[in-house]
Amino acid sequence: MNTLTITARQLLLYSHTLVFAFAIARVLREDVALLTARRIDAVRLEATGRTIAGLLGLLWITGVAMILLGTGLHMAVLVSKPKLAAKLTVVCLLTANGLLLHRVAFPMLTTPQRRPRRAAAICVLLGAISSVSWLYASFVGVARLIAPAMSYTAFLALYGVGLVGGIGTALAVARPRVERLLAPLSGGDVVVGSAPAGRMSLPPF
């Protein structure tokens, strides 16, 4: 590997790490903000969605570029590197869950719901998957010490344990809070945050 390639990979790794730090900090901050807010702010949700989508796009670009400069995206490489395969799997699930968040959960949070309990459960379920996936992706990214002893199945099993714990906690702790936030909407109050009632739709992911 020549000096130019090594330098490019190092710059990409640095950029990837910075973007990931900004993204996970934003995700966790917005989770806390939603659980402590007195009302749902549609404008803030829209801004957050756009920011996270942009950061996730940058993560895909820098991550795939590093892989292509390093080993390439070949099946043999993924089989021989379970850590890499596990991270790609989690990021793919994270991206798919992001689509559901923006297309399903966000509209539920900003429009009247006939069944607020059900809507709250769906929203916190997707939110929990998002938070756990971001945290686990960061864990896999730095898991160099245990990676030699971990198989792809072991990485995914650990991810599954995290999902079960995160979802269970979210349904028990966060769902009642979100349901209370949705209750005024169900009663007819559709003014959320500073967004006009007629502009509640959020952009696709």
- Phi-psi region at 114: left, alpha or beta (left = phi > 0; alpha = psi -120 to 50): alpha
CA angle 133, 135, 139 (to 5 degrees): 110
Query: What is the domain partition of the chain in residue ranges?
Result: 3-186
Per-position DSSP letters for 126-141, written without gaps between them: HHHHHHHHHHHHHHHH
The type of residue at 178 is V
- pLDDT tens digit sequence for 31-73: 888 778 778 778 888 888 889 999 999 999 998 898 888 766 6
- pLDDT tens digit sequence for 74-132: 666 666 889 988 999 999 999 999 999 989 998 888 888 888 899 999 999 999 999 99
DSSP 192: B
CB neighbours of 158 closer than 8 A, spacing ≥ 6? 136
